[in-house]
Each structure stands twice: as C-alpha cells, then as structure tokens.
Structure 1
Amino acid sequence: MKIYCDPLAGFVEIPEKPRRIVSLASGLTEALVHMGFSRLIAGVSVWCPNFTPELEAPIVGDYLSVDEEKLSAVQPDLLLITTGVQRGLARKLYKAGLPIYVLPLQNSLHGIFENIMTLGALLDALPAARALITRWQQTFAELHAQVPHPRPRVYAEIWFGRHVRMTGGLTFIHDLIEAAGGENLFGDVRKGYLELDLAEVERRRPDIFLVYSEPELPIQAVDLARERGWNIPLIQADISPAHNIIHDGPSMMRAARWLHGEIRRAAQETR
C-alpha cells in the first residue's frame, strides 16, 4: 500500500495489513495495545514499558535514536514515530528506506483522536480505533458531569528535567484539566507551553497549584509553594500512568479520574 505522509513530504510503502510494528512513541504503543494489537508490536522505545508493562517486545531505541542492529533484527513492516523533536530521526529512517509513518504531535484531545483514527486506517482496523475513542469520550463525559461549580482555577507547572513551562491553551493538557473539573489558568493563551512568569501567575490568582516532574529531577509542589509564599492546595503529578498529565495514550483516562478526585479534594480545601 502506497500512501502519502505529509511530515515526510513523500510516499511510503507499507503492507495492507502490517504484522511487525515498531513504535517509538509511547502514546501510540499504548493505543495499539488498547486496540487489541499487542501481538503485532515487534519493537518499542525505552519509554513504552512504563505504559505497556505487559508487552514483551524488545526495546529498539528511545525518543531520539534507534539501535540500528536491534531495529534490523525485528524487521519492521511499519515503523511509527511523531513530529516535533522526532522529526529528524523520522527523516533519517525514511531516507534509509524503512517503512515509516509519521503522526503529528497533538495540540488537543481532538488531535489524539485523529491519530488513533490514522492508526486504525494504517492497520485496516477503523472499528477498533472508533471503539477506543468512544470509550475515551465516555470517560471524559462522565467526569464532566461531576465538575465542581464554580470550577477552581488550576495553575499547571510542567518540569521537563530542568526546563520549566506553564501550560497554555494549545495542548491536550488543557483538555485534561478541563475534563477533570478545573479551569486552566492560562487556557486563554494561544500557545501550548509558556515560559515561567510568576508575577502573571499571581496576578491571575490560581486556586490550585498542579506540578508535574520526572524522576531525573524530582520537583515537589510543596517545596515550590513554600519558596514562593503560596498558600493554596497542591496536586503532585508524576510519570506513573495513573498520575501522568503529559502522556497522550489511553492511560490518560486513568489520569483524568485521578486528577478529577484531586481537584475535588483541593476545591473543598479552599472553601
């Protein structure tokens, strides 16, 4: 099957029904598992097992590179990757003649669903893709029906290692916060991530402080709040699937339920 891949500005050749899939994006890998295609996954990235521990597929690379020997050994007939920082690796693999398809990084929950539909099309499994999306939508609808009124203003601070960002309105994290019952403090800003501006945070008067960090450089919300003199309820997110607010795979449903409970708890503290 010859199809056009816009991020690569070229056509790619893949089987009508791929049988040896390598996924270098954990959200896509997890989506494949939830769609019922674990048996077809021949290789994953080092980040995938955190979300799909049941898989026995070998690790063939990380987010930015691959082990060429390991990749060759699994003989993929479809290799999945995303844009953004993976774009350079995607182009390299495409030039090497590998059967690669590149999916766009998402600006919203709708973008995640579009990618799942694309996965369904690539695997000739649109019903499975639609079933996963429906389950996801139902989960978010159930949470939306239980949101507190008024919604508490949630300031989300994301630590990518030493790099800190505030969450704007052009990211699926915004949709996650809103579905869980909060109002994203910077949801009106037309960017995904913003540089830290504590004066503006304080001007907007958040009700809840939500912090995400990674094990390599753990950042605790309680410590930041103490340093800044903030006396508002805190929520601590991390890389575990049930508490991970930056992951774009189906475990977002678990994270949404957890965050919904945390926001309700925090909202009660402010009364």
Structure 2
Amino acid sequence: MADTMGHSATATRNTSVALGFCLLAIAPQIFEFIWSIGTIFGWGAGRGPATVLVAHATALVASVQSFILILSALPGTILGYVLSSPPGPVVKSGLSSDVLLALIYSYPIFVVAIVTLFMTIRSAQDYVGGVILMALALFALWASSDLQGMRGFSFGAGTAPRMFGGLLVALSAGIALTGLLTDGPAMAHYSWRGPMFVMAAILFFALAIRPLGLVVTAFASFMIAATGSHETRWLEAAIVGACLTIGCAILFPYVLGLPMPMYPRFLIQ
C-alpha cells in the first residue's frame, strides 16, 4: 500500500509539473493575446485578439509539417541555424514568425512536458529550474532568428545570441538531467501574489501610459504593485506613490527630456 501511495503521489506531482510546462510552452502566445486586448481600446499597435488567436492556432498546426521537413535535414539545420544568416533555407523558407515560435520554442517544451509524465524526478528544484532556463534559451533563439548570422569569418548580429542560446540550452539540459539522476530538494512553496501584481503593474503602465499620461499611470502602477504584499499600509503606500509620481513627472520630461504625455488624453483634448 505504501508503494502504491508513493507512486500515486509522484504521478500527481509529475502531472502538475507537466501541466506547468505546457502552460510555459504557450506563455509567449498568451502574453501576446493579453497584449492585443489593448488594441481594442486604442492602447497600442499590433494585431487584434482574434487575429492573434487564429495566427497562433494555425501556426501550431502548420509547424507539425514543417517539423517533419526539418527533421529530414536535421544535421545541417542545427549548424546552419547557429551560424547562418538567417537560419538555413529549410528552417526559414516560407515560415512565419508564429510558426518559428512554435517550432523553436513551444514544441520542444511540449516534448519535455510529455517526457516529464514518465520520469521519476529526484530533485524537483534542479529539474524545474533547468527546464525554465531551457525555455529562456529557446525563446532567445527564436527572438534572434531574423538577425544576420555568420558570413565566412565575419560575425553577424545574430551569431553570438544564437551561440550563447545554444550553449544555455545544453547547460540547462544538464541541470534538468541532474534533477532526474541525483537526489535533491523538492519544490519549495512559492507565493505568486507578489510577482503577479508586479507584472500586472508593469503591463498596466505599458498599456496606459499613452491614453492616461504619466501622472495617473505612474501612481496607479505603484498602487497595483503595492497590492502584492499582505503587509501594505495603504496610507503610507499612497504617500510614497505620490512622491514617486512627482519624481517621475520631473525626471522624465524635464531632466531626461523624454517626450512623455503627462496627463490623460481626454483632459488635454
């Protein structure tokens, strides 16, 4: 019975980790969709939410066929991706940025998530940390896919990012493998409240700075970030937020000379 219960607990933990990796695999697509919602209110430029959903869904399906083509030329593709400018014709020809995102970033993380279901994780911190570092490296490889690469002995703008990204993938895979082969600490309890509200504050500032202006946006962003702590004293937070807002209102437009809108657009009009 003890073995059965232990196996069940391990399977449950692996399922939770695998689901987390699946969410990580589509995190860039989710972020772009959230960002695109602002276009409905005129808060930014770019594709609308419906366009983003259709484009990424189509890319995830179309990239399966592209993945089969890439596997047929895998040895030359890997070296060509790291050194060429841009990535070799098998990778780049006819592929949109959304398809490349699925091929370079999303599907490798999906594969790791599937493998996780069947593995015994002996050091959760090492394994999860290694996979997250791998995700960062894969995202960097995708982001640098359009940069000029190596021409003969001349380095291009994308050569170093892709070389370091490939090195980080190898190192992070080694860290994740350590989590499978050696005993180590389990995942510690992590509070999402603080990071969630800080990210919400950053996203609000990016979307609201143009329509609402610096004064309103800076103060509101600080108060959103302050919500991330249970120990926040709201009167003190409001005073500090007001002081920081005044400092930003002086620093950016007058000291640094940045042309930032100060007040809401509807008040100016």
The interval holding the TM-score normalised by the smaller chain is: under 0.3
TM-score by length of 1: 0.25
Which TM-score applies when normalising by structure 2? 0.25
Question: Normalized per residue, which structure has more helix?
Answer: 2
Bigger radius of gyration among the two: 2
